[in-house]
Each structure stands twice: as structure tokens, then as C-alpha cells.
Amino acid sequence: MKKIESTKNESVKLWKKLQLRKYREKEGLFIVEGYHLVEEALKYEATVEQLIITDESQIQNLNYDGDIFIVTNEIMEEISQTETPQGIAAVCRKKSESLEISYGESYLLVDKIQDPGNLGTIIRTAEASGINAIFLNKGTVDPFNDKVIRSSQGAIFHMPIITRNLSDVIETCNEVGIKVYGTSLQDASPYKGEDPSDSFALILGNEGEGIENSLLNQTHKNLYIPIKGKSESLNVAVAAGILIYYLKNV
């Protein structure tokens, strides 16, 4: 174990930088905070490179034999993005994800969703329902954003999350016989008119602008969720849950 007591320490400076997407992408690293998320990262073989703690008692029940840093409360507050840090964090290395799209599996395609809470909730729902992988279009919020990770409750460690051109993903799905469903309020059919299936791809779009028209034009069919009240639309994470569970017949 190594003790750090200065906020000017080089390791502390790096941890602080990892709050920003450009440094997460440059270094290939991200930070998770809190005992539950650290435990999930270790349990599901995320590449934990360092543990950061304020008290040795916090790691008594954790199976980890890598680098451990004991820091002051001031340092933990400096690197934390929560209002009340729990005194434990982990520096994790991003996994290099590659995936062959196969008939018989189900996928979620995310087109430029911006709210971290929405994306985290969608990842959590997708993992819980048995979705095999999530593809993110360029312009989507960083899945390693602290708020995304916390909203996912660790589900981000359980399944492949890949940034890829969604047009290419849809093309491949069509080639292997996977039906691709868009979500739209125009030129779409009620979702309950479709038969559930073990193999499909579902596209979810930006909170304000929806899915790009070019992507909607590539789908097998576009679906909508009927609204009986006066609301114009549903939150994208709520809509995702309804559609995923219906299409998978969970």
C-alpha cells in the first residue's frame, strides 16, 4: 500500500483528469466510486488497475492484490464526482470490445442519447433483460461518464458496449436476418402489433431529436408506444424498458 497526502501528487492529478472524457479516451482509463461499484468491477473481471481508499478496513472483504493507495479525505473529495464520497474508488482500464453480430441474439442501438442518467438506466435495463450487446453511435454520451456508471448500477461491467457506426450495424443485422426496429412517432406501427422474438435489434434515439432519418430508413419496421394521456412522449429510458421487455417476451 502507498500513502498519498498531497493533492499535487502526480497520481492525484491523473485521477482528477479522468473526470473529463478526453482524458478517459486518451488514457484508456476510467474511475468508479463507492463500495458496490468497486465490488462489481472486481467481480466481473473489469481490469482494475488501482484501488484508492481512505481507510484500510474498506478492502477487508475485497479480493484484490494490485496497487492500493491510501489517501486523505481531501484527496478523495478532489477526485470524487459525488457529493458524499464513500471513501473508496477504483481506476479501471477500458476493455477492447469486438463483436460479431449473429442471428439468434438481440442488440440495442443507441443514437446520440445525451443524458447520462438515461443511458445508465438503459444499460441496466438491457443487461437485466438479456440483451447481448449495446452499440453506441458517435455523439452519444460517454458510457464511462461517472453518472452513466452509477445509473447502470454496475451493469456496464456485465455486457459489451461498443461505439460503432449504426448504419453499418443495421446493414449487418439485415444481412444475417435480424429484424431491426426503429422508434418513431411518425410512419410507425404500434409496438404490440409485432411478435416477440429472441433475435432483434432496437434503435433508441436522442431525447429531443429522435433517431436520424437515414437510420429509420434502414429498419425492418418503426414502432411507437401509444400514449393515452396528454403527454407528448415518454422518457427514452422508460420507452426502452417497455419495448425491450415486450420484444423479448421476458
Residue 122 has pLDDT above 90, yes or no: yes
Q: What is the CA radius of gyration of the chain?
A: 20
CATH code of 2-93, in short, is 3.30.1330.30
Q: Are 133 and 159 in contact (CB under 8 A)?
A: yes
Average pLDDT over residues 32-56: 91
Assign a CATH topology to domain 106-248: Alpha/beta knot (3.40.1280)
d(CA 250, CA 244): 8
State the pLDDT at residue 206: 95
Residue 45 has pLDDT above 80, yes or no: no
Residue position matching grid coordinates 425491450? 244
Q: Dump pLDDT digits (tens) for 64-111.
A: 999 999 999 999 999 999 989 999 999 999 987 789 999 999 999 999
For 183, phi then psi, to 5°, come to: -125, 125
Residues 6+ apart with CB under 8 A from 246: 191, 192, 196
Reported pTM: 0.94
Map out the domains of the chain as residue ranges.
2-93, 106-248
Reported confidence tier of residue 11, pLDDT bands at 50, 70, 90 = very high
Residue 236 has pLDDT above 80, yes or no: yes
Q: State percent of the chain over pLDDT 90.
A: 88
Average pLDDT over residues 179-207: 95
Average pLDDT over residues 192-206: 96
Average pLDDT over residues 149-177: 96
Q: Are 132 and 169 in contact (CB under 8 A)?
A: no
Task: Establish whether domains 2-93 and 106-248 are of one fold.
Answer: no
